[in-house]
Amino acid sequence: MKTFIALLFIISLAFTVEAAESHPHYNLFVSFDIQRNSIKGTSTITLTENKEYNVFIGKLRITSVILNGKPFMSDIKKGVLKVTGKGILEITYEGIFKEEDIKQERENKGVISGNVIDEKGICLTEGWYPSIQGIVYYNLIAIVPNSFTAISEADEVIAVNKIQGKEYSFKFPHPLNSINLVAGRYMELKEIFNDIEICGYFFPEDISLAKTYIEYAKKYIKMYEELLAPYPYKRFSVVEDFLPTGYSMPTFTLLGQEVVKLPFIVETSLGHEILHQWFGNSVYIDHKKGNWAEGLTTYLSDHLYEEQKGKGWQYRKKILTDYESYVSPEKEFPLRDFISREDFASKAVGYGKGAMVFHMLRNLTGDDLFYKALRSFIHQNKFKEASWDDLRTAFEKESGKNLEQFFNQWLNRKGLISIEIKNPRVIVLKGIPAVSFEIIQKGEIYEFNLPLKIKTDKGEINTILNIKNAVEKLEISVEGNPLEVVIDENYDLMRQLSEEESPPLISKLLGDEKRLVVIPEKDRDKYEGLINILKKEGFILKEEREIKDKDLMSSSLLVLGIDSPILKRLFAGHNKVGHGFMLMIKKNPLNTFRVIAIAYGDSKNEVDLASEKIFHYGKYSFIRFENGKIVEKKTDETASGINVSLYEPVWGIQPQKAISLEDIINTISDKPVIYIGEIHTNYEDHKLHLKIIMGLYEKGRKFAIGMEMFQKPFQKVIDEYLSGAISERELLKKTEYFKRWKFDYNFYREILEFAKAKNIPVVALNLRSEIVEKVSREGLDVLNDENRNEIPEDMDMSDEDYRKRLRDIFEEHKSQEIKNFDYFYQSQILWDETMSHSIDKFLKENPAWQMVVLAGAGHIIYGSGIPKRVYRLNAKDYVTIIPDKEILKKDVGDFLVFLQPISLPYTPKLGVFLKEGEGKVIIDKLSAESAAEKSGLKEGDIFISIDNCVIENIEDVKISLFDKKQGETVKIKILRKRFLAGEKEIEVIVTF
């Protein structure tokens, strides 16, 4: 027969009349069968008011209920026993608690669901006795096995050896909203500090930690007594738990065995749990009206410790990045509705946003008044349930201000402040420099104090602006030349981060509502354990070949392995970083509000050892493990505050120090790749191309000319023209030049003629325009397999500066056909990457050759379009020449060339607008006084031929005329419709 160990809870009846009338009193007798994980108990509850009570039974089995000495019959529905009346309620019950019933969510580390009774110890923190809602007076006597030491809420503990075991009496004179019991094979260390008994209860193997924990506990108690109020109890204990807990109860904290061993816990979590002795454990939380204690405790512990190290702004920025990462619209709720931490999102609201509210309140009131109001709040609400409204009352009383607007907007609304700066400029008012700008609030309008810094060449101006309207127009006088405006540099506001401030973080992957795992075609077995974990966490699994651009644009992705085509498509591939297992986060180039994560492991074992741990490193951009231990972690640096530059440097050239074109050619002649930009319609730019090409040829350089103007499928046609196998007209016809490039061929004619005469290869660099146009309208997903065979396998879409420049171009030149910037961006990258791969291919096939690349200046400036991409592929040195005086900016190119405008030689124009239909080229309109009108051509005429060359499309018309000179004539045959007489063929002579 198993022996039951008795555990007795006896409540003292020596209460004041007032207390006796307001709070129930609780006697509890329980006994345990350790081997069977069971508990038996009898509760004796003194009900002090004649009303209906809800007694929460949970999973306990009730064996009898007696009210005032008589059996009480009542159904238990949904774990609740309803009792009406005043007097003595006795309940006997049983329960079984096994460790396998314990549950812990990965997103709620340190919070467990369930109780345990077994040989390891007893841990009872919820639903282990029949409880009633509200505040109750408890006092405890407990008998536990002789090898166990017991801990519960107590100001005084008396232990006596009994036959059944060791009897503990826990004396606690204050009312509580619940009780807890922990017992185990502990070693105990005690010290007296300022009349407070400070204890450490640790397992024998960890008892060496007790001294450190006690010393830190003394430090925190002293600090918070000076900051707030005297410690509310006579006792405080640090208790080690065999379960992975992280709890604070009145008079003690319960920390899991793995947690207490971490060296940083005494400097972070311990202080947080001790501060709860004031907030939550002596001033109780009125949960019906929201949990204020977690935000306040976080602010005055975790945040305060970082603030003392000068890193408070970093902690506040982390609060904002956590909110951005985890709190999706579906998971967002007002702060007043926060009750307890359930997942990352609720923690970001209750702990993070809550802490920021207290930070803004402190900045609003000032330090002295802030702490004075908290001391008043503690004094007025000690051992009572308090709410946000009680906090507001305390702050209004001490400040003399009406804080309704502040508390209402931060407690009752979802979301946070969203601001941006518009129209920043430097002006001069009555001879004094000033900065003018607008602050725009997006979404709901908040009233707040906005920290502002203006940097000038003579120093800084710091000020606070009161913002309360959707649009605030501001002018601020300064000394010196304004350089930059910085908004909320130290993160004093609960606001949305700008794109420049927001780093790519693991938390953004974990918190995204739309997140995919890209399953590799090879090495799947290596990542199987991680895949299974992620699947349980709600990640969607997709094979590499299934991933479309719409997935990349609408989701955050975790790519397994560094050989994935996804990485080649977005970042031109990725290299292994160190040994073991790594997880790296990058901004998603196709949607910068989302991220691309890259995970790689050397082996299945390395992946498995790290997989469970990555969820605890949300604040980092990169982590690396070796044998399951973290060896490297870092967060990408981003801007601090919203930064707006006011300084646009003016660059000048000293003509007497200018370098001649001949000197430029001498300087660049040995560069493997020479990029020369152009404005396509500037004839002087093309003459510059020719001069440089001729100069290099005269130096005997062996080079090819790479041309954006021709597309790759027509390389054979170009080669045929250069060899003399076909004529110039055939070149234009077969390359579809006027259909695909459309600019006047005479811009490039001399270059091609020189190349032909001197046997200089010309390389078609560009992608077929049909593919570029498809992508610009519908994105990469629209491409079929045949199209994909023509595009590069690896592309880098991660150049954020280039993306911004392209967005500016897109906004300035929006068209009806191209409405989506993301598609436009993809098409431009595709264009650049194709040309880059074409250049690289030629140079690898011809290692002794150079290449002169002729392309639009936008593809060359700052190196972003083509040069850096080619360098990525082959690391060959290069030089850039930009013939554009309008973009005189630092780093725009290696050489800026200033050219006098040159008119294009006479090019004949018919003066007609043409259209195609049913395989015919038809005159749609004629220009007044044009050569066509003078020759007798009319609207509706259909071209048959020009100088006996058959006209099949509009390009044929352009090819027939491109080399005509002023004064020359052409013979044009047309079909003209006549009224009731059908069509008639007519021959017309046109003189230019």
The closest of 424, 454, 440 to 495, measured between CA atoms, is: 440
* Rounded Cα gap, residues 445 and 184, in angstroms: 55
Q: How confident is the model at residue 817 (pLDDT cuts 50, 70, 90)?
A: low
Residue 250, judged by CB atoms within 10 A of its CB (0-12, 13-18, 19+), counts as: buried
Indicate the residue type of 285: I
541 membership: H or E segment, kind and range: strand 540-543
CB 732 within 8 A of CB 745: yes
Q: What confidence score (pLDDT) does residue 917 get?
A: 86
> H or E element: which one contains 985?
strand 982-991
Q: Which of 20-29, 405-414, 768-777, 789-798 has the lowest mean pLDDT?
A: 20-29
Which pLDDT value is given to residue 886?
Answer: 65
* Residue 566 and residue 793 in contact, taking contact as beta carbons nearer than 8 Å: no
Do residues 835 and 766 lie in contact, with contact meaning Cβ atoms separated by under 8 Å? yes
Count H helices and E strands in the chain, helices first.
30, 50
Distance separating alpha carbons of residues 943 and 623, to the nearest angstrom: 69
What pLDDT, on a 0 to 100 scale, did the predictor assign at position 69?
Answer: 92
What is the b/e burial string over 573-587, where b = at least 16 CB atoms within 10 angstroms of the residue's CB? bbeeeeebbbbbbbb
**pLDDT computed for residue 574 by the predictor:** 84
For residues 698-707, average pLDDT: 96
244 contacts 256 by C-beta, under 8 angstroms: yes
Residue 110 pLDDT exceeds 70: no
| pLDDT higher than 90, residue 108 | no
Residue 113 has pLDDT above 90, yes or no: no
Backbone angles phi, psi at 922, to 5 degrees: -120, 140
Residue with tokens 């890193």: 311
Q: How far apart, in whole angstroms, are the C-alpha atoms of residue 9 and residue 30?
A: 7
984 pLDDT more than 50? yes
Instruction: Report the chain's terminal Cα–Cα distance, integer Å.
Output: 121
Burial tier of 684 (Cβ tally within 10 Å: 0-12, 13-18, 19+): middle
Range in 98-112, 268-282, 957-971 with the lowest mean pLDDT:
98-112
Per-residue pLDDT band at 388 (split at 50, 70, 90): very high
Asked whether residue 2 carries a pLDDT value surpassing 70, the answer given is: no
Identity at 845, one-letter amino acid code: E
CB 561 within 8 A of CB 537: no
Residue bearing tokens 């390009």: 955
| Predicted local confidence at residue 819, as pLDDT | 77
Q: What pLDDT does residue 542 have?
A: 94
Block residue for tokens 């900045």: 363
Taking residues 23-48, what's their average pLDDT? 91
pLDDT digits (tens, 9 = 90+) for 317-341: 999 999 999 999 999 999 999 999 9
Q: Give 603-612 pLDDT, tens digit per residue.
A: 999 999 999 9
Q: Who has greater pLDDT, 817 or 914? A: 914
Residues β-bridged to residue 878: 673
pLDDT above 50 for 8: no
Q: What single DSSP character describes residue 953?
A: S
Both tokens of residue 386?
A: 């308090």
Give the mean model confidence (pLDDT) for residues 669-684: 95
Q: Is 155 exposed, middle or buried (0-12, 13-18, 19+ CB in 10 A)?
A: middle
DSSP label at 781? G
Confidence of residue 885 (pLDDT cuts 50, 70, 90): low
Beta bridge partners of residue 842, listed in sequence order: none
Give the pLDDT score at 12: 35
Can you give the pLDDT at residue 208?
96
Average pLDDT over residues 720-743: 94
pLDDT, position 159: 94
The CA distance from 211 to 46, in Å, is 41
SS3 560: strand
State the average pLDDT over residues 677-699. 95
Confidence of residue 31 (pLDDT cuts 50, 70, 90): confident
Nearest-angstrom CA–CA distance, 942 and 937? 10
Confidence tier at 18 by pLDDT (50, 70, 90): very low
% the chain with pLDDT above 70: 97
Q: Report in angstroms the alpha-carbon separations of 355 from 237, 358, 680, 949.
A: 26, 5, 57, 81
Per-residue confidence at 164, pLDDT binned at 50, 70, 90?
confident
Cα 760-762-766 angle, rounded to 5 deg: 165
By mean pLDDT, which of 196-200, 535-539, 569-573, 882-886 is the weakest? 882-886
**pLDDT value of residue 613:** 92
The predicted pLDDT at position 816 comes to 63
| Contact between 283 and 382 (Cβ < 8 Å) | yes
**Averaged pLDDT, 2-24:** 42
Cα–Cα dist 552/921, whole Å: 44
pLDDT at position 19: 41
3-class secondary structure per residue, 327-386:
CCHHHCCCHHHCCCCCCHHHHHHHHHHHHHHHHHHHHHHCHHHHHHHHHHHHHHHCCCEE
Span 55-74, average pLDDT: 92
The residue ranking higher by pLDDT, 978 or 87, is 87
- Containing H/E element for 45? strand 38-56
Contacts of 912 (CB under 8 A, 6+ apart): 923, 924, 925, 926, 927, 930, 932, 937
More confident site: 708 or 655: 708
**What is the pLDDT at residue 14?**
35
- Cα 133 to its chain centre, rounded Å, is 41
Supply the pTM of this predicted model: 0.86
Record the tokens describing residue 807, joined without a space: 């967005």
Query: Under a CB-based contact definition with an 8 Å cutoff, are residues 271 and 279 in contact?
Result: no
Nearest C-alpha neighbor of 319 from the set 297, 295, 343: 295
Q: What is the mean pLDDT of residues 503-528?
A: 93
pLDDT at residue 394 tops 90: yes
Strand runs labelled E in 209-285: 235-241, 246-249, 252-256, 284-285
Gap between the Cα atoms of 584 and 598, Å rounded: 5
Q: Is the pLDDT reported for residue 593 higher than 70?
A: yes
Average pLDDT, the chain: 92
Residues 954-959, mean pLDDT to the nearest whole number: 90
